[in-house]
Chains A and B, each alone.
With several copies, the nearest count.
Chain A
Amino acid sequence: MLKKAHITKLIKKEEIAKDTFDFYVEAPQIAKAASPGQFIHVKCGDGTFLRRPISICDTEGDILRFIFQIRGKGTAELAQKEVGDYIDILGPLGQGFKIKDKKAFLVGGGIGIYPLLMLAKKLKDPKIFLGFRTKDLVTLEEDFKKWGQVIISTDDGSYGRKGFSIDAVKEMIDECEIIYACGPIPMLKALKNLAEDRGIECQISLEQRMGCGVGACLSCVCKTVRGYDKICQRGPVFDSSEVIFDD
């Protein structure tokens, strides 16, 4: 069957932290096809030109859930949508996490925590490390707690542990057979190194500015052992051993 852009209906909207919106849309086909780590490409409105990539956070029957922070014009426009409004969404897109039957660490930083929720649901008792800048930005704690042990860090120590998630991960690394991660580049770099040191598998989800979102334009590349790979098509999740972080 041919894929298509879906006109979905916003049925629930919540501001779960300052400038952070939790959207539930009716999108049966996307919800059914989605797997953890995949993303959608969203037309935010008339005021922006390109679509915006957003991770799939969760699905429940016909409902697709995604969470985004206002970062610029597109996300600001999207945040204006009200319940009952329609949203044009392409997806699910990309390759998500490859689920292995191993003792899993989920590591998320900032907006990188959102794609991990659906993943947590599919794993057996994962340890979930969530990092935030500060207490006010802490979100989804309760959602994640249903699926595993949650260890929260804040950069300023205002909630949970003080410091970066990576420190907590390091302390418990002996219990880990596989890492699934999404977040800022320095975090992913550190995890990649850690995983390599310990010889464990590590899957990381990457971000890059996108055009088409479907692999047709070669805008969204990252450097891998193969050259420049398209994040929207080969990723967004890569095996950390493939990815080359250079500057």
Chain B
Amino acid sequence: MTNLSVNFCGVNFKNPVVSVSGTFNFGLEYGMYFDLNQLGGITVKGLTLKPRLGNPPPRIAETPCGILNSIGLQNPGVEAFLKNELPMIRKYNTNIIANIAGNTIEEYCEMAKILSESGVDLIEMNISCPNVKEGGVHFGTDPKMVAKITSKVKKYCKKPLIVKLSPNVSDIKAIAKAAEENGADALSLINTILGMRIDINTKRPILRNNVGGLSGPAIKPVAVRMVYEAKQSVSIPIIGMGGIMCGDDAVEFMLAGATLVGVGTASFINPTACVDVIDGIKKYMEKHNINDVNSLTGGVIAY
């Protein structure tokens, strides 16, 4: 019998695969393509305290083996989420991870407080969104800032607190440590890497926001490295993400140190990517006679 279930911050996941924030809206769209009950968890679109319009289009550009996006956190706000979206998706037997972003530390605290009283299972604090002017990424690139925001939000957060890290940093280890030491129950990484494309015919950036976040297979090696490095420096569990397209990719992240894995951009190409990744992990385990998926985590034999 293969065991796929994972205990993550005291929450039971039936398997290590979650959808990541921002590529899965609030779940229902891909719910038309597969049974959401199959998922370990669903991370919902990033929420802000007030509704947010987002950036003007174009918001997406294709790049070699990846995409740039500059959605800019369009969302109905945390209250509307709790009222309109959560009840719909709470019906599924899967964990719900709320993803939050704020302009100020106070906003993060406020959202953590509100969501702690709600039916979500875990809270992921996005301090790494490259697509908003205030807040977002600047909270996530300085260890001191990470320490400060984590310790403050932790006070209000009654659910497991996952801190989502930015890859746009020199030393992910220091950032990871700062989050852990200040109360993070888990880490998730990586968010997108800041990038740009220019249309050489019009001389205009393709994204109306000029720059956007790079995701997809192109960034996978960077993500695997960062998960590996973070794992070396903290003992809290990690959700690994960045370019996972199939089960083998997910296994690579787990070997690097991830306890859960997140599937994002892959869904755009293959709407059943999340469940295909679960199947792929199972196949790998069968092939290699591995009984417990947890034994993969951190299993890399580094030189």
A218-B64 Cα distance, complex, nearest whole Å:
21
B24 at the interface (CB under 8 A from A): yes
Check B292 for interface membership: any CB of A closer than 8 A.
no
Q: Is the CB of A216 within 8 A of B269?
A: no
Residues from chain A with Cβ under 8 Å of B59 in the complex: 209, 218-221
Closest to A48 in B: B62
Distance from A20 Cβ to chain B, minimum over Cβ atoms (Å) = 20
Give Cα A48–Cα B216 distance, bound, in whole angstroms. Answer: 12
In the bound complex, residues from chain B placing their C-beta under 8 Å from that of A187 are none
Of B67-75, B88-96, B176-184, which stretch is located at the interface? B67-75
Q: Is A208 an interface residue (CB 8 A)?
A: yes
| Shortest CB distance A223–B (Å) | 8
Q: Interface residues of B: mostly helix, strand, loop or mixed?
A: loop
Residue B53 CB within 8 A of the other chain: yes
Complex Cα spacing A156 to B137, Å: 51
Total B residues in contact with A, Cβ cutoff 8 Å: 38
The one of A49, A90, A218 that contacts B67, using a Cβ cutoff of 8 Å: A49
Q: Chain A contacts of B29 at CB under 8 A?
A: 212, 214-216, 233
**CB interface residues, A 197-242, toward B, < 8 Å:** 208-223, 227-228, 233
Q: Knowing A49-B216, A49-B269, A215-B25 touch, does A2 contact B34 (C-beta < 8 A)? A: yes
Q: Is the CB of A228 within 8 A of B61?
A: no
**8 A Cβ contacts from B253-288 to A:** 265, 267-272
Q: How far is the CB of A77 from chain B (nearest CB, A)?
A: 12
Residues of B within 8 A of A216 (CB): 23-25, 29-30, 267-268
CA A215 – CA B71 in complex, angstroms?
13
Describe A's contact surface by its main secondary structure.
Answer: loop
Q: Tell me if A127 counts as interface (CB < 8 A to partner B).
A: no
Chain A contact residue count (CB 8 A cutoff): 30
Contact B54 A221 (CB under 8 A): yes
Residues of B1-52 contacting chain A, CB below 8 A: 22-25, 29-30, 32-35, 45
Does residue B57 face the partner (Cβ distance < 8 Å to A)? yes
Query: A210, A215, A218, A219: which has the most chain B beta carbons within 10 Å?
Result: A218
- Bitwise interface map of B from 75 to 99 toward A, beta carbon under 8 Å scored 1, else 0: 0000000000000000000000000
The answer to whether A227 and B268 have CB atoms under 8 Å apart is no
Q: Does A4 contact B (CB under 8 A)?
A: yes
Partner of A49, one of B22, B54, B62: B62
- A74 vs B74: C-alpha distance when bound (angstroms): 28
B272 adjacent to A217 (CB under 8 Å): no
A217 and B74 within 8 A (CB): no
Q: In the complex, which residues of chain B have a beta carbon less than 8 angstroms from the beta carbon of A90?
A: 271
Asked whether, in the complex, the Cβ of A2 is within 8 Å of the Cβ of B69, the reply is no
- Write out the residue numbers on chain A whose beta carbons fall within 8 Å of the beta carbon of B23: 211-212, 216-217
Do B268 and A212 touch (CB < 8 A)? yes
Interface, chain B (partner A; CB < 8 A): 22-25, 29-30, 32-35, 45, 53-54, 56-67, 69, 71, 74, 206, 216-217, 265, 267-272
